[in-house]
Amino acid sequence: MTLLTFRFAPSPNGELHLGHAYSALLNQQLADATGGRLLLRIEDIDTTRCTPQFEAGLLADLKWLGLGWDVPVRRQSEHFAEYRATLDRLVRDELVYPAFMSRGEIRAFITDSEKRGRDWPRDPDGVPLYPAADKALPVKERKRRIAENAPFAWRLDVDAAMAHVGKDLSWAEFVDETLSATRAIEARPQDWGDVIVARRDIPTSYHLAVVMDDALQGISHVVRGRDLFSATGVQRLLQEILGLPQPAYFHHRLILGPDGRKLSKSLGDTGLAALRRAGASPDDVRRMVGF
Ligand code: GLU
pLDDT digit string, tens, across residues 244-280: 999 999 999 999 877 777 776 665 668 999 999 999 9
What pLDDT score does 265 carry?
A: 64
How many angstroms is it from 13 CA to the middle of ligand 1?
A: 11
Q: What is the strand order of the sheet 221-225 is part of?
A: 70-75, 37-42, 5-8, 221-225, 248-252, 170-174, 182-186
Q: What is the pLDDT of residues 47-77, one digit of tens each?
A: 999 999 999 999 999 999 999 999 999 999 9
- Which protein residue has the closest C-alpha to ligand 1 atom 10? 10
| Domains of the chain in sequence order | 5-95+152-288 (3.40.50.620)
How many angstroms is it from 7 CA to the middle of ligand 1?
A: 10
β-sheet bridge partners, residue 7: 39
What pLDDT score does 259 carry?
A: 75
Which atom of ligand 1 is nearest the CA belonging to 41?
1
- Which protein residue has the closest C-alpha to ligand 1 atom 7? 9
CA–CA distance, 133 with 119 (Å, rounded to integer): 17
Which atom of ligand 1 is nearest the CA belonging to 224?
8
195 contacts: CB under 8 Å, gap ≥ 6: 155, 156, 158, 189, 205, 207, 234
What pLDDT score does 269 carry?
A: 64
What pLDDT score does 270 carry?
A: 83
CA–CA distance, 21 with 43 (Å, rounded to integer): 16
β-sheet bridge partners, residue 37: 5
Which atom of ligand 1 is nearest the CA belonging to 43?
1
What pLDDT score does 257 carry?
A: 77
Pocket test for ligand 1, best of 75, 223, 224 (most atoms within 8 A of CB): 224
pTM of the predicted structure, to 2 decimals: 0.95
Pocket test for ligand 1, best of 5, 43, 263 (most atoms within 8 A of CB): 43
Alpha carbon distances (Å) from 281 to 56, 66, 265, 272: 20, 11, 20, 10
User: E strand or H helix at 221, and its extent?
Assistant: strand 221-225
CA–CA distance, 156 with 8 (Å, rounded to integer): 26
Low-confidence ranges of the chain (pLDDT < 70): 1, 264-269
Residues with Cβ within 6 A of ligand 1?
A: 9-11, 43, 210, 224, 228
Q: What's the DSSP call for residue 218?
A: T
- Which protein residue has the closest C-alpha to ligand 1 atom 3? 10
Identify whether the C-beta of residue 44 lies closer than 8 Å to the C-beta of residue 260: no
